[in-house]
Amino acid sequence: KTAIKKLEDCHQDVRCSCLFLISRICMSEPIKITSARSVTPLELFNEFSADQDPRVREVVFQSLLTLHQRGHILDFILYEKACVALSDDYEDVRQAAIMLIWVFSHTQPERLISSVCQPDGIPLMDDAFIKICSMVNDSSMKVRAKAVSLLSSLHNVSFALLEQTLDKKLMSSGKKTKSFNERASERFLGGEDTSINTQWNTGNTWSDNLVTVNKPDEQEVQLMNTGACGVFVRALEDEYMEVRSAGIDSICELANQNAQFAQLSTDFLVDMFNDEIEIVRLNSITSLMKLHKYVDFREDQLDTVLECLNDFNQLVRDSVRELLGYCLLSTQACLHATVLALLSNLKKYPLDNESIWKCLKELGKRHSYFVSSLVPELLVTHPYYAVPEPNINDPSHIAIAALIFNAAENCSSIFSLLPSYTKQHYEYLRDSLPHLIPQSKEKKEFSTDDDGNVVNDFFSSAVSRMYKVLEMPNSNMNTSILSCIKDFQHIKSMNQYFSPAAEFLCLFLECHQKLIKCRSDRTWSIPAAMATSSLCSSLQNDVIDLMNNSYKLEFMYSGLASENVNTLRLIRILAHSLCVLLELRLITKDHLPKKVNLKLWGSFLQRLRKFKEHVVSTSDVNDQLKEVLKLQDSIEENVSETSTLITVLQEFFLSYPINISVKNRLRLTHAKMVEPRSYLDTPLKFCAGLTLSVLVVAYIENVDNISDIQVK
């Protein structure tokens, strides 16, 4: 009520605060202004949209947006008010009005709006698109950037308007003017007699008055807004990088929804490769990468793209190569020019060799038949004369080999064009660079593929045998575990697909083997008073190994089920309990402390609490997990009785079973360091006390969170 009373205050800040408050707390019921007058919230804001102060007008439109977010249905008259506000003198008002028009385009897209050019009316979505496009000519950079960015979400606009955004041509009088030939053709097809009263028999000299201009009605001629005409062209030519970047993003988003528009916009995105701002260039490259399924580079477009290979920024160069690997090239000449440009780029930037090799690999996969016609020229072969064999370690030769061997995967006729030395080169490169050279399908000429079904059966049988071994008594388990580890190591060397799972199970069985060794150690048969540090030293080393291996199993493999994570954390709990028992056994009865070591038990209880939180939030609590959860309660109840704690903890360590089952496909977290290399011919020099920048190039696979990566 206080806010309503203060709406007529003379100070604009008071009116703004009152309108702001009303938009957030008012209901849909009418607001009582005076005893004789009540208005709805929308009517109230409609009245204040014509306030003399621009800050109040801005708050009005912002409040209407707030009402929309709260679920109020906005009246159509507010759309007309927002359209009028587009010419407001205050830029924040214009920006808020654009947002309100954008909201109407999504809430009432099919509503028909009257138009001079189309008597039947146009959809509100198209009208809103035209209104927002007109704001690209605004004097404020913020308004222009906001308008261009909002265009990206208007997906249901008619294609005629989308096509017009890339063309600056305007139709005269809002109507298309037909040429003389078009009008004559229509009369002929309509059956009219073209020999009477036509342009052909007027007696005039040819071309004196060839084109007849139809004079429009003076009442129909009016000054028209450019609207959507060339809006993206103007946005991409804007002096501010924010507007240009927003234009690129909007074109990319709309092109993803319309294949025909994507083909039309390719030229404009390629032209932005020449932008003076690095971020804009990179944005246009990544946008084209998202549209790669629609892109088919012509020779004129490719010239601009290849120029970016010489950019001073490595990130831009890598992005251009990735784009070339994704897109298709229209002709064989385009592919040839691209290969030559990449080979030249390899000589100029030798540290970019991995990126260039990967690009040529993808080009070979996508242009197999183009590559087949270029093989003699790329390998410099001759039908009659012998040519020298290239250096197998030459980066340029590796690049050409990656191109040809990947193309041969889809075009087997390439093998007949290869010289004799390529067999040895293939075998060497396949072993040294397996991520570049594919496994060939030609069994007679090159290596053969492994039979995946045989390996799959072998892996399944090995896993089944492992489950049976884990259920055996500890006394008979050691030899069987060693046999299972050998089987998984053999599977790891046989097939790359099963390698992560096999390596995971090998490491788990090693942990299980260490647990059996610790449980069967003779230390447990010796009274605590007779325990010495020499007897416990080997167990302390096993504790460290169990901790390290369990962390590796949990964090170096992705795809683990929640039950597997629980098992790995249980291994750490068992290792921690072993560590606590060893610490207590090293204290003889003569040196028993009067107080419980809270630090020793506190860290163990903290691990149990974290395990309980993880189990309750991720999986069902079965009977075995209940024993672990009860362990925490037992320790907290008997924390003052050391002997009871030792008995409870030792019983838990010696008897708790550990099992695992692998159902998902696992992936190994892997990092390959490319630069800096291990043995450099020229050592890096630096001055004492000063920092030295070192370029690090690495390929990291299967990492969920890149913030966890550390260079050591």
Express each pLDDT in 227-261 by its tens digit: 678 899 999 999 999 999 999 999 999 999 999 99
What pLDDT does residue 240 have? Answer: 93
| Percentage of the residues of the chain whose pLDDT score is greater than 90 | 23
User: What digits encode the pLDDT tens for the residues 496-508?
Assistant: 777 888 888 888 8
**Cα(564)–Cα(68) distance, integer angstroms:** 47
Question: 658: which 2 tokens?
Answer: 């550990």
Tokens of 147: 């308008």
Q: Please check whether residues 349 and 383 belong to one and the same domain.
A: yes
Long-range residue pairs from 215-221, CB within 8 A, at least 24 positions apart, any chain: 216/172, 216/173, 216/175, 220/116, 220/173, 220/174, 221/173
pLDDT greater at residue 182 or residue 209? 182
% of the chain exceeding 70 in pLDDT: 80
Which pLDDT score, from 0 to 100, does residue 21 have?
74
Q: 11 exposed, middle or buried (CB, 10 Å; 0-12, 13-18, 19+)? A: exposed
- Arithmetic mean of pLDDT, 420-428: 86
In Å, what is the CA distance from 372 to each residue of 203, 332, 375, 410? 64, 10, 5, 10
pLDDT at residue 322 in the model: 94
Q: How confident is the model at residue 281 (pLDDT cuts 50, 70, 90)?
A: very high
The pLDDT assigned to 210 comes to: 46
Q: Output the domain CATH number for residue 14.
A: 1.25.10.10
471 and 598 in a single domain? The answer is yes
Measured distance CA(381)–CA(375) in Å, rounded: 8
The pLDDT of residue 558 is: 80
Quote the DSSP letter at residue 385: S
Cβ partners under 8 Å of residue 316, min gap 6: 278, 281, 282, 285, 308
pLDDT of res. 596: 57
Which of the 8 DSSP states describes residue 412? G
Residue 531 lies in a domain: yes
- Give CA–CA dist 518/535, Å, rounded: 12
616 and 565 within one domain: yes
| 37 is a domain residue | yes
Residue 129 lies in a domain: no
Q: Per-residue pLDDT for 185 more than 90?
A: no
Q: Residues 467, 595: one domain?
A: yes
pTM: 0.65
Specify whether 595 is located in the same domain as 690. no
Report how far apart the first and last C-alpha atoms of the chain are (Å, whole number).
Answer: 65
Candidate ranges 57-71, 313-327, 661-675; pick with highest mean pLDDT: 313-327
In a domain, 217, yes or no: no
Give yes or no: residues 634 and 676 share one domain.
no
Number of other CB atoms surrounding residue 34 within 10 Å: 7
| Candidate from 276-285, 320-329, 366-375, 694-703 with smallest mean pLDDT | 694-703
Which residue has better confidence, 103 or 555? Answer: 103
Burial letters 282-291, b for 16+ CB under 10 A, else e: bbbbebbbeb
Give the residue with greater pLDDT, 91 vs 463.
91
Longest dimension (CA), the chain: 134
**Pairing of β 296-297 and β 328-329:** parallel
Task: State how beta strands 670-675 and 557-558 pair.
Answer: unpaired
* Amino acid 4: pLDDT: 67
Evaluate whether residue 126 is within a structural domain: no
What pLDDT was estimated at residue 99? 93
Residue 498 shares a structural domain with residue 574: yes
Give dist(CA 164, CA 254) in Å, integer: 13
pLDDT band at residue 589 using 50, 70 and 90 as cut-offs = very low
CA R_g for the chain:
38
Whether residues 649 and 675 fall in one domain:
no
Q: Do 418 and 477 sit in the same domain of this protein? A: no
Average per-residue pLDDT in the chain?
A: 80
Confidence class for position 448, pLDDT limits 50, 70, 90? very low
Q: How confident is the model at residue 396 (pLDDT cuts 50, 70, 90)?
A: very high
Confidence band, pLDDT 50/70/90 cuts, at residue 20: confident
Measured from the Cβ of residue 693, the count of other Cβ atoms closer than 10 Å reads 7
Same structural domain for residues 349 and 474? Answer: no
Q: Exposed, middle or buried, 372 (CB in 10 Å: 0-12/13-18/19+)?
A: buried
Over residues 148-174, the pLDDT tens digits come to: 999 999 998 988 888 888 876 654 444
| pLDDT band of 198, cuts 50, 70, 90 | very low
Q: Report the C-alpha gap between 140 and 332 in whole angstroms.
A: 47
For residues 387-410, give the mean pLDDT.
89
Partners of residue 32 on adjacent β-strands: 38
Confidence of residue 531 (pLDDT cuts 50, 70, 90): low
Phi–psi pair at 578, nearest 5 degrees: -65, -40
How confident is the model at residue 28, as a pLDDT?
A: 67
Spatial separation of the C-alpha atoms in residues 159 and 164, rounded to whole Å: 8
- For residues 486 and 462, state if they share a domain: yes
Measured CA to CA, the distance from residue 493 to residue 500 in angstroms comes to: 11
pLDDT tens per residue, range 625-647: 787 778 877 877 776 676 777 77
Please, which residues bridge with residue 640 across strands? Answer: none
- 228 or 201, which is more confident: 228
Of 108, 143, 174, which closes a domain?
A: 108
**What is the per-residue burial (b if ≥16 Cβ within 10 Å, else e) of 652-685?**
bbbebebebebeeebeebeeeeeeeeeeeeeeee
Is residue 221, in this structure, part of any structural domain at all?
no
Tally of CB atoms within 10 A around 688 = 4
Q: What gap in Å lies between CA 76 and CA 83, rounded to an integer?
A: 11
Residue 207 has pLDDT above 60, yes or no: no
For residue 284, what pLDDT is reported?
95
Residue 194 lies inside a defined structural domain of this protein:
no
pLDDT attached to residue 532? 57
In a domain, 636, yes or no: yes
Q: How confident is the model at residue 273 (pLDDT cuts 50, 70, 90)?
A: very high
Per the DSSP assignment, residues forming a β-bridge with 668 are: 557
Q: How do strand 328-329 and strand 670-675 relate by DSSP bridges?
A: unpaired
Let me know whether 283 and 401 are in one domain.
yes
572 has pLDDT over 60: yes
Long-range contact pairs involving 312-315 (C-beta distance under 8 Å, separation at least 24): 313/278, 313/282, 314/349, 314/352, 315/282
Predicted pLDDT of residue 178: 56
pLDDT, position 37: 67
Question: Which structural domain range is residue 344 located in?
Answer: 235-432
pLDDT of 607 over the 70 cut: yes
Give backbone dihedrals phi and psi of 350, rounded to 5 degrees, phi first. Answer: -65, -25
Average pLDDT over residues 447-452: 47
- Say how many domains are in the chain: 4
